[in-house]
Chain A
Amino acid sequence: MNHDRARDLERRIAALLHVGTWTASAVITVGMVMPRGAWVVSGGIALFIALPILRVVVASVELLRRRDFRVGAISVLVLAIIALGIAVGLHGRATAL
């Protein structure tokens, strides 16, 4: 694997997770001090859940661009499993209502 590009991916993911963590924490904190801010808190929580998923998206794009098709395909499959989980959750909510 190309060494510089691997380092570049590590740095990009590190920056994404670092900035994302503090942004989501700030959004939740703002929502907590705001009157009727439950929807803002909920948005911050959604942001937290999206962070690792975004990280897999970034890695998938990079792997496929490098023509690393085996691990690239596995990471796309991981995304599909996460999407399936969300679909199961939405279905559960719809049937509960």
Chain B
Amino acid sequence: MIGAQAAWLFALSLGASAVGGMLGMAGGIFVVPALTALGIDIRTAIAASIVSVIACSCGSAAPFLRRRLTNIRLAIVLELATTLGALTGVLLTGTLPTSFLYFLFAMILLVSAQQMLARRGEPVANGAGGGWGTSLDLHASYPDPDGGPDVHYKVERVPAALALMYAAGLVSALLGIGSGVLKIPAMDTALRLPLKVSSATSNFMIGVTAAASAGAYYARGDIVPAIAGPVAVGSVVGAVLGARILLAVPSERIRALFVGVLVLLAGQMLLEAFGIRLSGGRP
């Protein structure tokens, strides 16, 4: 039975995930506020969103892998930290009040808005690339898009990246988002990966990170099929559409619009954190 609610959830997640895909982010950051705006409990929204994060990651991984942009070995090493972070998040989530979750979500939205304003440049490798990058054989290469010889790159400062990835995994499990916002500094500042490799590898890791918390939430019975089902399918369709119209570096006006949307959503979540609702029933 397709209820009106399922159709709504499908359409809403499709839109949220398409916007995310257009910006090269996972859609979770838009899915959770959209669901809570419908009056869905934030914990149910987070559990549904984490499934859609897996769906988006798996649905968009194949083209990156075929173009050899994903560093699988590096992803596995970093997943050690993200899944540990996710496990910590699963253990913590029951003990945290929902007002804290709203507050943390608002902060993540503001950091995303700030990152959207500061454009991301190609990180400059210092060529050091010793340490763990060498002992675990993580350095790799990808095909030159202009048909030249393969571009070789080195992986720097793995321990610093692991610490940031632990935090990313924790926030991902707590808020039901991909946490790309926190993975970007790890990829750019610590590892200094080429942008394409970093996007592909980060997207690849998001699926396993989300599976670590989603597996626990599923086993605990926190995932409501009537909500998570339409959200997951809507997100896959939205991600495919979003990738088609990818605006990874949008023009000034569109960028300003998205920054505005992120700040508005942050405002909504902050109001919720302090128990003020603009629409729907009283808390």
Task: Give Cα A81 to B209, complex, Å.
Answer: 10
B45 CB within 8 Å of chain A: no
A residues within 8 A CB of B220?
Answer: 89-90, 92-93, 96
A61 CB within 8 Å of chain B: no
B217 CB within 8 Å of chain A: yes
* Contact count band on B: 35 or more
Known contacts: A52-B208, A55-B207, A71-B73. The answer to whether A38 contacts B225 by CB under 8 A is yes
Is A48 a contact partner of B87 (Cβ separation < 8 A)? no
Is B76 a contact partner of A78 (Cβ separation < 8 A)? yes
- Kindly identify which residue among A49, A85, A96 contacts B51, using a CB–CB cutoff of 8 Å: A49
A residues within 8 A CB of B229?
Answer: 28, 31-32, 41, 44-45
Task: Give Cα A59 to B205, complex, Å.
Answer: 13
Is B223 a contact partner of A7 (Cβ separation < 8 A)? no
Is B6 a contact partner of A74 (Cβ separation < 8 A)? no
Is B66 a contact partner of A10 (Cβ separation < 8 A)? yes
A residues within 8 A CB of B66?
Answer: 10-11, 14
CB interface residues, B 211-239, toward A, < 8 Å? 211-221, 223, 225-226, 228-230, 232-233, 236
A residues within 8 A CB of B84?
Answer: 81
Nearest B residue to A38, CB-CB: B225
Known contacts: A20-B58, A82-B212. The answer to whether A45 contacts B137 by CB under 8 A is no
Q: Is the interface of A mostly helix, strand, loop or mixed?
A: helix
CB interface residues, A 76-90, toward B, < 8 Å? 77-78, 81-82, 84-90
CB interface residues, A 56-77, toward B, < 8 Å? 56, 59, 63, 68, 70-71, 74-75, 77
- Kindly identify which residue among B72, B212, B236 contacts A85, using a CB–CB cutoff of 8 Å: B212
B residues within 8 A CB of A75?
Answer: 76, 79
Task: Give Cα A38 to B1, complex, Å.
Answer: 10
Nearest B residue to A28, CB-CB: B229
Task: Give Cα A39 to B225, complex, Å.
Answer: 8
Task: Give Cα A7 to B79, complex, Å.
Answer: 21
B83 CB within 8 Å of chain A: yes
B residues within 8 A CB of A20?
Answer: 58
- Kindly identify which residue among B76, B208, B233 contacts A74, using a CB–CB cutoff of 8 Å: B76
B residues within 8 A CB of A89?
Answer: 90, 215-220
CB interface residues, A 1-43, toward B, < 8 Å? 1, 6-7, 9-11, 13-15, 17-18, 20-21, 24-25, 28-29, 31-35, 37-39, 41-42
- Kindly identify which residue among B70, B208, B226 contacts A10, using a CB–CB cutoff of 8 Å: B70
Is B51 a contact partner of A45 (Cβ separation < 8 A)? yes
Is A92 a contact partner of B94 (Cβ separation < 8 A)? yes
A residues within 8 A CB of B76?
Answer: 56, 59, 63, 71, 74-75, 78
Task: Give Cα A69 to B230, complex, Å.
Answer: 41
Is A52 a contact partner of B54 (Cβ separation < 8 A)? yes
B128 CB within 8 Å of chain A: no
- Chain B 45-87, CB-CB to A under 8 Å as 1, else 0, gives 0000001001101110110011010101100110110011011
Q: Give 20 A-B contacts (CB < 8 Å), ordered by A residue.
A: A10-B72, A17-B59, A25-B55, A31-B229, A41-B229, A42-B225, A45-B223, A45-B228, A48-B214, A49-B54, A49-B214, A52-B57, A53-B208, A56-B79, A59-B76, A74-B80, A81-B80, A82-B208, A82-B212, A85-B212
